[in-house]
Amino acid sequence: MTSYAKSLKILRETKALIDGHFILSSGLHSPRYVQCAQLLSNPTKALSICRSLAAKIKKGASKFDIILSPAMGGIIIGYEIGKLLKTKTIFAERENNIFRLRRNFFIKKKSKVLIVEDVITTGKSSLECKRLVSRYGAKVSAFACIIDRTNGKSKIKEKIISQVKLNIPSYKKQDLPKALTKIKPIKPGSRKL
């Protein structure tokens, strides 16, 4: 299993975890940014982290029948976890700003679903997926991600299984620390504010 310290080292080496001044998709500002796509562009390094996360899921999650990931960030992680745990994997896509299943994907009624993401910050995408699961008459057994940066502030009540927990501060624009005001902010996120 890949240790916490080794996982952090991999995230930094692949530039999946970077320092600076960032405007997050939530509109908050942060001195660090997580971009798991950078990790996933290094398949060998990503695989070691996914193997470790799969072992944690196997040990810590209650039984589940299918894995659901939100597009775009969770698709590759969900696929890798599904491959490692020999579990069918599907993904949700936004259509008219609402997560839906397309491509003939389906969740059977009363099935148990593991929601897998790359990063969980506010939990917005994960909770949207949970609502989608409910619309199919199924239940979420757990949430899993490579990086949990909720800092206990998410509305997710179910268990979150993660490879790494990061306590990255975020600030409203009017509450920025002095050091952050001296760095020009970058908007690296994919979701529009």
pLDDT exceeds 60 at position 193: no
The answer to whether position 148 is within a domain reads yes
Q: How many domains are there within the chain?
A: 1
Query: What pLDDT shows up at residue 190?
Result: 54
CATH of residue 112: 3.40.50.2020
What domain range includes position 57? 4-181
pLDDT in tens, 32-59: 998 899 999 999 999 999 999 999 999 9
Q: Tell me the three state secondary structure of residue 143.
A: strand
Query: What pLDDT shows up at residue 192?
Result: 46
pTM here? Answer: 0.87
pLDDT in tens, 103-148: 999 999 999 999 999 999 888 899 999 999 999 999 999 999 999 9
Contact partners, residue 87, CB within 8 Å, separation at least 6: 64, 65, 66, 67, 81, 114
Q: How far is the CA of 114 from the CAs of 40, 45, 187, in angstroms? A: 20, 23, 30
The answer to whether position 193 is within a domain reads no
